Chains A and B, each alone.
Chain A
């Protein structure tokens, strides 16, 4: 926890920061501060159609003044996004929200605040990524649980096993085959469905009478 948080500001000298903003005094304020912090910089203008690929952080202009705001947003970019905004009016806020940026700096730009916004944006992006990772993992888990439950029912019905026996059976097979339990479960279910389609299913007939 502490070390991962520290990494957010300790590796700033090794990351690449892209600044997408027209040249001038406003950009100079941002660029010079990022140089003081020690980031590797990449200056881009005009606004590219695709986000820069090799940057870990992208500072980019959100403006009402010009057409050609970025059509890409944080959801499509694997980098922390910091918007450089010139107005705080509702129509500009709408543009800002559409970018899903992790941070925003509003004009007039000052050197103070750029560092903390940079760190906070990287932290939020990291947090969002970890959350997304957890969500993906949970979705996989839920899916495999459904598959295992389905296979257990197949084994109970067709092989006269108890629930515990069915699970234990699949688990030991998974170990010996070096695959996951849910992969074994898929094999069981698919095999069962194949047999049924061939008219060779009907596990109930194999069940010993005593079970009834």
Chain B
């Protein structure tokens, strides 16, 4: 009897589900590139347990219904059990029923608002106690107490603003205004907000706009004569690749809170950046590509330990492994399937990189269900 090897015998089949277009097509493409880079790197080194990773990738184009349809296709038609994908919460919520019904495993690498746990999801991005609170603290202590909030109208901005408002008001600050725009807000709407900002003269603008409208907002902000070095925009999402697209010279002085910046000086990051440059040329790495890259490596370690793509075995193994990632050591908290990550504050330079002006002393335990934030734990030194 001869067993002919089939594709499913020779490779570990995994699904990849990121949008290459749509409102957040740029940052999700970064997720995609980071994922691809890690898969190629792992396969070039011989795969996991001598078998390569065999990805199947689909593009939901930013449409939540497509996320669900394609997740179903991966799980049912392609008989795949592990998916790396989703970015905005709406897409994660759309695939969650399908993932749970099929007892599959979703690796979700975007930062998000928390308040979720599924035994079928590994969350490798930051939750608010790993980025929002630090940003509020930094801004209040170093930039001033009068804030103007502008965001896209969906759950992440609403939650981020709730936290920002809580912390700012608790420490004697003032929210001058809180404005929401449609996800794909255009020039006129953004110019209205910029006029309102010029009138209100806040110390800092906290923006949770995302994607194309966020980039246009940053561009118009500078072009309308507001100097980011004097009145910066603080953000949880604006990173190197989007800065490059806006034009770095327009962005000098803006503040971003993230767990990774391309400028981090450590061995793992040098390795990641070199690998990235070889594959993608001049594009910079960012928190969007790095988290996607790191979670595939974390998965590979878990797979090596579990020797199986079975969800229960893989989750158990994921909780036991660590990865020395470009942003430092990351590990999955067995209590809530979220990652311990190191918070950092970066200020944008004219070359598009960020100066890290503050960083946590080590990884912060993820607290996805934290509703109130005292300063004591986060007081920035």
Contacts and interface: CB of A to CB of B under 8 A. Distances in A.
Interface stretch (A49-57, A82-90, A139-147): A82-90
Given A25-B68, A108-B100, A91 B93 contact: no
A65 B90 contact: yes
Interface in A89-138: 89-92, 107-109
Interface residues of B, number: 20
B97 A89 contact: no
A90 B371 contact: yes
B113 interface: yes
Give the 10 A-B residue pairs with the shortest CB-CB distance, closest first. Answer: A108-B97, A89-B115, A64-B155, A91-B158, A88-B115, A108-B96, A89-B159, A89-B113, A91-B162, A108-B100
Interface string B158-174: 11001000000000000
Interface string A187-203: 00000000000000000
Interface string A10-47: 00000000000000111001000000000000000000
Contacts of A88: 115-116
A202 to B, nearest CB: 64
Interface in A46-85: 64-65, 67
A90 B113 CA distance: 10
B159 A91 contact: yes
Interface of B: 65, 68, 89-90, 93, 96-97, 100-101, 113-116, 153-155, 158-159, 162, 371
A89 B89 CA distance: 12
A25 B72 CA distance: 12
B154 A109 contact: no
Contacts of A91: 155, 158-159, 162
Contacts of A89: 113-115, 155, 159
A-side interface size class: 10 to 19
Contact of B154 (A25, A65, A90, A107): A65
- Residue from the set A65, A86, A89 with the largest chain B CB neighbour count within 10 Å: A89
Given A88-B115, A107-B97, A108-B97, 6 more contacts: A24-B65, A25-B68, A67-B153, A87-B115, A89-B155, A90-B162
B93 A64 contact: no
Contacts of B153: 67
26 contacts: A24-B65, A25-B68, A25-B97, A26-B97, A29-B97, A64-B154, A64-B155, A65-B154, A86-B93, A87-B89, A87-B93, A87-B113, A88-B116, A89-B113, A89-B115, A89-B155, A89-B159, A90-B115, A90-B371, A91-B155, A91-B159, A91-B162, A107-B93, A107-B97, A108-B101, A109-B97
